[in-house]
Amino acid sequence: MVQRDNVFSLRIKDAQKGDESEYSINLTNQRGEQAKSACNLSVKEESMRFVVPLEDIDTQEKNTIVFSCKVNRPNATLKWMKAGQEITFSKRIVYRADKEKHTLTIKDCTLADEGEYTAMAGDSKCTAELIISEAPTDFSIQLKDQTITEFEDAEFTCKLTKDKADPKWYRNGREIREGP
């Protein structure tokens, strides 16, 4: 509430639906005369929109990614789509809303997760692309040195992080092939 000379003001900052009402002012001058003025305040809801849209993500399989966006209203619920189909949430695909910020987390990405993701807030939507590249094959169990007695069999074993691989064996830097 502000008074400057003969001007009286009532300011409602960040007006919301709950502020809708009749507002009035009553004044009494020095002679005891009273004056009253009244008005109604109507607040139209702002349509929901994205303030910070989704961004494209480029990652490798088995990583965890997080799509993030912000809308102009707190405590809204977004609808999430992948390639036009609504996403079913699980322990691996998690949706969280914290005031205006919304996140979609995909844990342990696979190549099947690649595609176009859309967040929908009312009539507004934003879309981003998830691009997943194959993780390089690596050793989860390495070869180990061995000492054996002459004429015993030697067996070298290792394990890869992927099922599909085309391994090549080498002895002193030269490729060896299967044989006796």
For the question of whether the overall pTM of this predicted structure is more than 0.75, the answer is no
How many residues in the chain? 180
What is the C-alpha separation between 107 and 61, in angstroms, rounded? 10
Domains assigned to the chain: 2-41 (no CATH), 50-133 (2.60.40.10)
Which three-class secondary structure state does DSSP give residue 18?
helix
Q: Which residue has the tokens 């405590």?
A: 75
pLDDT of residue 92: 96
Report the C-alpha gap between 96 and 162 in whole angstroms. Answer: 32
Residue 116 is classified by DSSP as: E
Note the pLDDT tens digit of each residue in 118-143. Answer: 999 988 999 999 999 987 777 888 88
pLDDT at 8: 85
